[in-house]
Amino acid sequence: MLRLDTRFLKGFPKALKVYEKDLLEARERLLAKNKAPGAMLGWMGLPEDTETLREIRRYREAHPWVEDYVLLGIGGSALGPKALEAAFNESGVRFHYVDHVEPEPVRKLLRTLDPRKTLVNAISKSGATAETLAALLIFLNWLQKSLGEGWRRHLVLTTDPQRGALRALAEREGLRTFAIPENVGGRYSVLSPVGLLPLAFAGADLEALLMGARKANELALAPLEQSLPLQTALLQHLHRHLPVTVFMVYSERLKHLPSWFVQLHDESLGKQDREGNRVGTTAVPALGPADQHAQVQLFREGPLDKLIVLVVPERAAEDLPLPEVAGLEAEAGYLFGKGLFALLKAEAEATYRALAEAGQRVYTLYLSEVSPYAVGWLLQHLMWQTAFLGELWGVNAFDQPGVELGKRLTFALLGRPGYGEEG
Ligand SMILES: O=P(O)(O)OC[C@H]1O[C@H](O)[C@H](O)[C@@H](O)[C@@H]1O
């Protein structure tokens, strides 16, 4: 379950009435786009795709020998699986992410892996991302050298159904692939095979994850009073004059979730609107309680330029009682007999109050627990929130024209044919 707490934003219930028409119109505009050719709204339907889920299950069952799973991908092709696998790995399969281009960690990883027990999954929607292609060159060569003809069983590609270098390679070599639907962009792809395939190897409950996401879909389309995604979109919209939106998660298991959110929010919404105005707010990742001992000083006494979102679990699957230890009564006695989770909850609540008291704008999203169901719901909720904000802010939440120049300049520096002039 997901629950919104806006107790310190006193004007919110009234704003919901004032903005009702704008919100409902934004939702209508978004849904109307679904009919247009080229609309990138396929993420809305991913939670219903049981056929792909079955295919992924079969593939997982046919590969019981996998002990190490190497994921080659970056941005939307890595952040989602990384966030979810860290939270829900039940299988003991070891995951390694090559979402960078630093030689030393890649060399170190290659030294530790046994190719016979390793599955390499290259993920790229476009099939054109330099970092991913570079990693693929290295790992494909390594598999071929170490396994000879058997290398093909150890490589699986997740990519566009038709286009791109990965698709072409798969066809030439007869490699196993999973498709990222054409109408699903990278940062909205976590519930496609991009996330589901690695999570199947992690042993996560995929059905519950998708069931949670379906709940977010239901609420996104519900009347405004029940529509959590419209409500949090409004909270972001009301505070768009504040340059920073902090996304602070009180869960060690979800420590990579803020990075996933940062890409979703920043790359979707930070752009020029139709009149050429620069719009967007900067999402800042934070982790509780660790950042109480780092960023919270700034949040308390620094500029009041932030909207702060706390994501807090309400229950632990299993709490850990704090034992009494003789000699530590004076400093730690107040903890004796309490659960570790009680401390987490108290800290989240204390931070919530302290930030509000400081004059920061802050609201909390409670997760019933850190479960695949609740987190699937949260991810899909945040995708809806982002898509609604795209409509409210007059930007296309599904493209990323601003990253193109950097790519072209990289190509020019490396002498890729056709890119010489910029170099
Ligand atoms: O999946 P890929 O096509 O390899 O893209 C990976 C990432 O790189 C691009 O530069 C985009 O800015 C991201 O939105 C995308 O998630």
- Where are the alpha helices (H) located in 288-420, listed in sequence order? 296-301, 329-332, 340-357, 372-393, 404-413
Return d(Cα 302, Cα 358) in angstroms, integer: 10
Would the CB of 251 count as within 6 Å of ligand 1? no
Residue 418: predicted pLDDT = 85
Contact by Cβ (8 Å): 291, 300: no
**Ligand 1: distance of its center to the CA of 127 in Å?**
9
Closest ligand 1 atom to residue 129 Cα is 4
d(CA 58, CA 220): 32
- Pick the residue with more confidence: 258 or 416? 258
360 pLDDT more than 50:
yes
Residue 74, ligand 1, Cβ within 6 A: yes
Cα of 144 from ligand 1 centre, angstroms:
27
Q: Using a 6 Å cutoff on CB, does residue 396 contact ligand 1?
A: no
Annotated catalytic residues are 267, 293, 407
Q: Which atom of ligand 1 is nearest to the CA of 263?
A: 14
375: CA distance to ligand 1 center in Å? 23
Q: How many CB atoms lie within 10 A of CB 268?
A: 25
* Rounded Cα–Cα distance for residues 193 and 52 (Å): 8
Give the pLDDT mean for 269-282: 96
Ligand 1 atom with minimal separation from the 180 CA: 1
* pLDDT tens profile 366-385: 999 999 999 999 999 999 99
For residue 423, the model assigns a pLDDT of 37
**Domains of the chain by start residue, with CATH:** 2-32+207-401 (3.40.50.10490), 42-204 (3.40.50.10490)
Q: Is the CB of 177 under 6 A from ligand 1?
A: no
Ligand 1 centre to CA of 126 (Å) is 7
Tell whether ligand 1 has an atom less than 6 A from the beta carbon of residue 403.
yes
Please give the mean pLDDT across all residues of the chain: 96
Asked whether residue 330 carries a pLDDT value surpassing 60, the answer given is yes
Q: What is the pTM of this model?
A: 0.96
Sign of CA dihedral 173, 175, 179, 180: negative
Percent of the chain with pLDDT over 70: 99
pLDDT at 37: 86
How confident is the model over 171-216, as pLDDT tens digits?
999 999 999 999 999 999 999 999 999 999 999 999 999 999 999 9
What average pLDDT does the segment 74-98 reach?
98
pLDDT of 421 over the 80 cut: no
Token pair for residue 384?
């809806």
Question: Residue 406: what pLDDT?
Answer: 87
Q: How far is CA 12 from each of CA 19, 74, 200, 206, rounded to the nearest angstrom? A: 10, 37, 40, 35
Q: Which of 1-5, 51-55, 209-213, 406-410 is predicted least confidently?
A: 406-410
ipTM above 0.85 for this complex? yes
SS3 content of the chain, % helix, strand, coil (to 5): 55, 15, 30
Task: Kindly report the protein residue whose alpha carbon is nearest to atom 7 of ligand 1.
Answer: 75
Whether ligand 1 lies within 6 angstroms of the CB of 125 is answered as yes
Q: What does the pLDDT average to over 251-274?
A: 97
Q: Structure tokens of 161?
A: 């159904």
